[in-house]
Chains A and B, each alone.
Chain A
Amino acid sequence: MEIVASPHARNFVSWSADKPKVIVLSADLTNSCEVGVWSKTYPERFFSFGLAEQNMMGFAAGLARRGFFPYLHTFAVFLYRRPYDQLAMSVAYPNLPVRLIGFLPGIISPGGASHQAIEDVAIMRATPNMTVIDMGDATDVETCLDEIQAVNGPVYVRMLRGEVPRLFDQSEPFALNQARVLSHGRDLTILSSGICTEEAMRATSVLRDRGISINHLHVSTLKPFTDPQVVEAIDEAQQGVITMENHSIVGGLGSAVAELMAESGAAKKLLRIGIQDRYSHGATRHTLMKENELDALSLVRGVERLTGSQLGITEDDLAAVRIDAAHSETKAEAL
């Protein structure tokens, strides 16, 4: 599998070339959020705001009202926790085209609880006028900007940085409110988002070998959440539905699917794989994914629970089909 180095860093620079009203606002995490080169390429439209996210949100609002498109770059956690009132009243209420590019979502951050955005999707979904998207791979990252820019209103993006696997063909760009169907099947439907899609792909290839037929969709838009493909996939699942996300099971993909299933009268089981309503700590992504049961093996265990069968799949089986050997070799991520 191809591993793409810093896809956002490169793509955002070239994409911005013919868009003079696209500006970047940064809160002291410029290089950490892959806009260091951007800031040197377009110094006249790069603005430093220091460690002051509340004020940055208000400045973004004023600039957006005058025809600029502010792309705020900082860690996901600092875009919604500290400045939420400003986000809601200065940006979201007037439906301004401010783009909130949040890095290190969920337990991707090794920085511990203070740095881990685990309830951001819940809060942003509950914010009127907000569009919420979650990047799953390098193709998502490289092709999301046109779709984001076309949104009439604020957009919150869970962005990926550094070495990002390419899971989806480059010829199939990110499309807002449109899931990617990764496999068809009738036994189970798996809806995964963000970095969990890679884990789910690893598990589903082994599960298929054991005779389980799986409908697997990668969901990259959490709001709006009206993709008919998702409803169809839920309808088709004979033994149940599993959601898998790098986020709390409260308010994220799992909740959105539960709401959809309840409202559509889908009388079937739902298993929500995600962070089980608890804070995490500082550790490697690999450890935190295992500990929070967000990895491929956890999905296999979930399938066993839902189907009531023992499949005898081990970590070694999953490692054998590992699609991104690169992750285990990457150096520990710094802030």
Chain B
Amino acid sequence: MTTATKKPWVEETEEVAKRIRLRVLEHVLRNNGGYLSQACSSAELFATLYTRVMSLGPSTAPMMPPRYQGVPGPDNPDYPRGGAYNGGIRPDKDQFIFSPAHYALILYATLIEVGRLAPEALDEFNVDGSTVEMIGHEHSPGVDTTTGSLAQGISQAGGFALARKLLGEHGRVWVLMSDGEFQEGEVWEALAAMAFHELDNVGIYVDVNQQQCDGEIRTTMLTDPLLERLEAFGARAISVDGHDVEALAAASAPAEDGRPLVVLANTDPTRCMNSLERRRPKLHYVRFASAAERAEYEELYETLKGTTEWKS
């Protein structure tokens, strides 16, 4: 690889992606399980969104996340807002809607690697009384709205995008989705509504890793041809290599043609972790089956660490 010819930002973003994968692997080793394949597939996606695509304000939240302070309600208006880690909502800045809430570990790892969250925050992952929940909710770092019931994020993003048009704001609304979500009817309702209301201020990045809980998408339910379906629904759909940070970033350019943008990031759910191949087709959640398997991943962790400027 001729890294010397790469633009500095590309090298930096790729480094962030490597560290996201490593951070998640480290946590999965410590926890003896976790959403590992999603880190393999989406590390470049998160890294590119946070370092290159989204124009976010500085975090207004503490580096160590606040403890759980009750759910939202009329008597609890001041519950912690995860969106504060993305700088909150500002007219000139972008907004991030995080739809596949089970990718929370990867989001937290990303926030750590871009300096918005303390590495120690992961010690509170899935611990009772913590907001660093396994499935992110809107009090969890980086999580703006509650989307754990999949496909609700895209409609909420549509509401934000429409509000931004009505308010005359220039900030864009970015959504991260997983490809399995396109089995939900609500997604197609939302795309139709975005095209109908000409919400070209929405950009949706999709982790097309071809995986879902039951296994491979094609053995679970038909979603192909996704690109053609999206175009037919009025979206401006672009298909890219989801591990190519330059291609991911280039796809974000605005068109202002009234169409919502959908970037299909084609990814490999075992990227940089070939050992995961043996687990196909069940990659959704990794739990080590034996000490030997665990040792294999520990070795992989040391190898990956050697390729980054790792700071624990």
Output the nearest chain A residue to B153 by Cβ-Cβ distance: A58
Is the beta-carbon distance between B166 and A68 smaller than 8 angstroms? yes
Which residues from chain A contact B197 at a C-beta distance below 8 Å? 47
Within the complex, the shortest CB–CB distance from A82 to chain B, in Å, comes to: 10
Within the complex, the shortest CB–CB distance from B43 to chain A, in Å, comes to: 28
Is the beta-carbon distance between B72 and A62 smaller than 8 angstroms? no
Is the beta-carbon distance between B159 and A61 smaller than 8 angstroms? yes
Which residues from chain B contact A12 at a C-beta distance below 8 Å? none
Which residues from chain B contact A129 at a C-beta distance below 8 Å? 72-74
Per-position contact with B for A57-72: 1 when CB-CB < 8 Å, else 0? Answer: 1111111111110000
Is the beta-carbon distance between A62 and B149 smaller than 8 angstroms? no
Q: Of B138, B160, B167, B193, which one neighbours A55 at CB under 8 angstroms?
A: B193
Is the beta-carbon distance between B163 and A58 smaller than 8 angstroms? no
The CA of A128 and the CA of B156, in the complex, are separated in Å by 20
Is the beta-carbon distance between A86 and B159 smaller than 8 angstroms? no
Q: Of B149, B163, B193, which one neighbours A52 at CB under 8 angstroms?
A: B193
Within the complex, the shortest CB–CB distance from A39 to chain B, in Å, comes to: 15
Which residues from chain B contact A282 at a C-beta distance below 8 Å? none
Is the beta-carbon distance between B73 and A95 smaller than 8 angstroms? yes
Within the complex, the shortest CB–CB distance from A94 to chain B, in Å, comes to: 5
- B26-34, B183-191, B274-282: which lies at the A interface? B183-191
Is the beta-carbon distance between B189 and A93 smaller than 8 angstroms? no
Interface residues of chain B: helix, strand, loop or mixed (majority): helix
Is the beta-carbon distance between B146 and A66 smaller than 8 angstroms? no
Give how many B residues have a beta carbon under 8 Å from the other chain's beta carbons.
Answer: 34
Is the beta-carbon distance between A65 and B158 smaller than 8 angstroms? no
Q: Of A48, A58, A85, A153, which one neighbours B158 at CB under 8 angstroms?
A: A58
Counting CB contacts under 8 A, is A89 at the interface? yes
Counting CB contacts under 8 A, is B239 at the interface? no
Within the complex, the shortest CB–CB distance from B122 to chain A, in Å, comes to: 25
Q: Of A45, A50, A62, which one neighbours B160 at CB under 8 angstroms?
A: A62
The CA of A64 and the CA of B192, in the complex, are separated in Å by 21
Counting CB contacts under 8 A, is B89 at the interface? yes
Q: Of B71, B162, B167, B192, which one neighbours A62 at CB under 8 angstroms?
A: B162
* Contact of A47 with B149 at beta-carbon distance under 8 Å, contacts A58-B186, A62-B157, A66-B89 already known: no
Is the beta-carbon distance between B152 and A93 smaller than 8 angstroms? no
Q: Chain A contact residues (Cβ within 8 angstroms of B): what range?
A: 20 to 34
Query: Which residues of chain A from 71 to 89 have a CB within 8 Å of any chain B CB?
Result: 85-86, 89
Is the beta-carbon distance between A61 and B145 smaller than 8 angstroms? yes
Is the beta-carbon distance between A58 and B190 smaller than 8 angstroms? yes
Is the beta-carbon distance between A47 and B158 smaller than 8 angstroms? no
Output the nearest chain A residue to B148 by Cβ-Cβ distance: A89
Is the beta-carbon distance between B73 and A62 smaller than 8 angstroms? no
Which residues from chain A contact B89 at a C-beta distance below 8 Å? 66
Is the beta-carbon distance between A89 and B146 smaller than 8 angstroms? yes
Counting CB contacts under 8 A, is A54 at the interface? yes
Is the beta-carbon distance between A58 and B159 smaller than 8 angstroms? yes
Counting CB contacts under 8 A, is A49 at the interface? yes
Which residues from chain B contact A62 at a C-beta distance below 8 Å? 145, 155-163
Which residues from chain A contact B149 at a C-beta distance below 8 Å? 85, 89
Q: Of A55, A89, A128, A153, which one neighbours B189 at CB under 8 angstroms?
A: A55
Which residues from chain A contact B71 at a C-beta distance below 8 Å? 93, 128
* Contact of A153 with B167 at beta-carbon distance under 8 Å, contacts A55-B193, A58-B152, A58-B156 already known: no
Counting CB contacts under 8 A, is A41 at the interface? no
Counting CB contacts under 8 A, is B154 at the interface? yes
* Contact of A90 with B155 at beta-carbon distance under 8 Å, contacts A47-B162, A55-B193, A128-B73 already known: yes
Output the nearest chain A residue to B71 by Cβ-Cβ distance: A93
Query: Which residues of chain A from 32 to 57 have a CB within 8 Å of any chain B CB?
Result: 45, 47-50, 52, 54-57
Counting CB contacts under 8 A, is A152 at the interface? yes
Output the nearest chain B residue to A89 by Cβ-Cβ distance: B149
Which residues from chain A contact B155 at a C-beta distance below 8 Å? 54-59, 61-62, 86, 90
Is the beta-carbon distance between A94 and B145 smaller than 8 angstroms? yes
The CA of A50 and the CA of B145, in the complex, are separated in Å by 24
Is the beta-carbon distance between B72 and A63 smaller than 8 angstroms? no
Which residues from chain B contact A63 at a C-beta distance below 8 Å? 159-160, 162-163
Query: Which residues of chain B from 217 to 254 have a CB within 8 Å of any chain A CB?
Result: none
Within the complex, the shortest CB–CB distance from B82 to chain A, in Å, comes to: 12
Which residues from chain B contact A49 at a C-beta distance below 8 Å? 193
- Going nearest first, the 7 A-B pairs with the smallest beta carbon separation are A62-B159, A58-B155, A55-B189, A66-B163, A52-B189, A59-B159, A62-B160
13 further A-B pairs in the complex, CB-CB below 8 A; given A50-B192, A65-B156: A52-B192, A55-B155, A55-B193, A58-B155, A59-B155, A60-B159, A61-B159, A62-B160, A62-B163, A86-B152, A89-B149, A94-B146, A129-B72
Chain B contacts to A: CB under 8 angstroms: 71-74, 77, 89, 138, 145-149, 152, 154-164, 166-167, 185-186, 189-190, 192-193, 196-197
**Can you list 22 A-B contacts with CB-CB less than 8 angstroms, sorted by A residue number?**
A45-B166, A50-B193, A55-B190, A56-B155, A58-B155, A59-B156, A59-B193, A61-B155, A62-B157, A62-B159, A62-B161, A62-B162, A65-B159, A65-B163, A66-B89, A67-B163, A85-B149, A89-B146, A89-B148, A90-B146, A128-B71, A129-B72
